[in-house]
């Protein structure tokens, strides 16, 4: 098993990419902590992992809260003795996120608090735990829109994912000699509740699909497989990367220098 004897903390682990990753990490031998604000979903995820013979625990945590992020890391160490893998995955894509003119300040602030501050807080409290464990892997969920911008306006989300990408690069440089790897997972458009609620008309869906060379939305399970690679020792010489798993969309629209 690729994550045997590892302890992994996954934020936003009750649904979408987080849930699929939690299930896969557990199958690969990791003890998994699911952090979320959805208590019912988090407990159901733990039950699913236990049903498949894995080990998991749930910790309620709002990633925009420093105290909650400190608590979830402490939970991992108190319950499972250490922390080896931190997947800063929790995020939002608000339906009222549009262009710079139409987007309200409250939507901007909420998006930044969860998508950017949540990654910062995860790293702020997670990195000392990884040091105590002798190193490990941090995976931050960014997005292809950090490279391209979005066909359907979502200014706060796009800016937030650009910030995650920049933060990932800097953290990777700072902590490389400590055995702590930091990489960004950059999904393309996915068939998850998060995106489908935002692309809530067929017209919006087609505006995305027309740009994807593979002609389909990605699946959360495909992102989980990519996260597994970044979490495992198979990616031991990778840090500071932008791991694009996007159906070819960035290759189609980014002009080589």
pLDDT digits (tens, 9 = 90+) for 165-211: 999 999 999 999 999 999 999 998 888 777 777 777 877 778 778 88
pLDDT at 119 over 70: yes
Q: Which domain holds residue 234?
A: 7-241
Residue-level pLDDT at 191 = 83
pLDDT in tens, 26-56: 999 999 999 999 999 999 999 999 999 999 9
Note the pTM of the prediction, 2 decimals: 0.94
- 30 to 24, 142, 255: CA distances (angstroms): 9, 23, 40
Would you say residue 246 lies in a domain? no
Of 130, 150, 126, the C-alpha closest to 204 is 150
pLDDT band at 242 (very low <50, low <70, confident <90, very high): very high
More confident residue, 215 or 182: 182
Query: Is residue 147 included in any domain, yes or no?
Result: yes
Is 175 a member of any domain? yes
Give the mean pLDDT of 208-226: 90
- In a domain, residue 134? The reply is yes
Number of structural domains found in the chain: 1
Distance CA 57, CA 47 (A): 9
Percent of all residues in the chain with a pLDDT value above 90, rounded to a whole number: 82
Q: Is residue 247 part of a domain?
A: no
**Residue 199 included in any domain:** yes
Residue 255 pLDDT > 70, yes or no? no
Q: Which CATH number fits the domain that encloses residue 195?
A: 3.40.50.720
Percent share of the chain, pLDDT over 70: 98
| Amino acid 215: pLDDT | 87
Catalytic residue check, 237: no
Given this model, what pLDDT does residue 256 score? 54
Write down the pLDDT at residue 57: 98
> Is there a domain that residue 251 lies in?
no
The mean pLDDT value for 214-240 works out to 96
Quick: pLDDT tens for 123-155. 999 999 999 999 999 999 999 999 888 777 899
Q: pLDDT higher for 255 or 136? A: 136
Q: Kindly state whether residue 1 falls inside one of the protein's structural domains.
A: no
DSSP codes joined into one string, the chain? -TTTT-EEEEETTTSHHHHHHHHHHHHTT-EEEEEES-HHHHHHHHHHHHHTT-EEEEEE--TT-HHHHHHHHHHHHHHHS---EEEE------TT---TTTS-HHHHHHHHHHHTHHHHHHHHHHHHHHHHTT-EEEEEE--THHHH--SS--HHHHHHHHHHHHHHHHHHHHHGGGTEEEEEEEE-SBSSHHHHHHS-SHHHHHHHHTT-TT-S-B-HHHHHHHHHHHHSGGGTT--S-EEEESTTHHHHHPPP-
Residue 212 has pLDDT above 80, yes or no: yes
Residue from 58, 157, 237, 253 carrying the catalytic annotation: 157
Q: Band of the pLDDT at 253, cuts 50, 70, 90?
A: confident
């Amino acid at each position: 098993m690729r994550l045997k004897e590892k302890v992994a903390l996954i934020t936003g682990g009750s649904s979408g990419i987080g849930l699929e990753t939690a299930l896969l990490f557990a199958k690969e031998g990791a003890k998994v902590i699911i952090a979320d604000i959805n208590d019912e979903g988090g407990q159901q995820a733990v039950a699913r992992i236990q049903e498949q013979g894995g080990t998991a625990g749930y910790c309620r945590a709002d990633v925009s809260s420093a105290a909650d992020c400190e608590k979830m890391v402490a939970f991992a160490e108190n319950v499972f003795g250490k922390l080896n893998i931190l997947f800063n995955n929790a995020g939002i894509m608000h339906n009222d996120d549009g262009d710079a003119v139409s987007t309200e300040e409250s939507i901007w602030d909420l998006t930044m608090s969860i998508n950017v501050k949540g990654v910062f807080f995860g790293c702020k409290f997670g990195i000392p735990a990884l040091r105590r464990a002798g190193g490990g892997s941090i995976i931050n969920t960014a997005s292809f829109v950090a490279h391209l911008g979005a066909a359907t306006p979502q200014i706060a989300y796009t800016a937030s994912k650009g910030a995650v990408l920049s933060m990932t690069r800097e953290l990777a440089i700072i902590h490389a000699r400590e055995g702590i790897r930091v990489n960004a997972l950059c999904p393309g458009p996915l068939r998850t509740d998060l995106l489908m609620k935002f692309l809530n008309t067929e017209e919006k869906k087609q505006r995305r699909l027309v740009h994807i060379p593979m002609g389909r939305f990605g699946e959360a399970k495909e992102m989980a497989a990519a996260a597994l690679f970044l979490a495992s020792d198979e990616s031991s010489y990778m840090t500071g990367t932008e791991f694009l798993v996007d159906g070819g969309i960035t290759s189609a629209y980014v002009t080589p220098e």
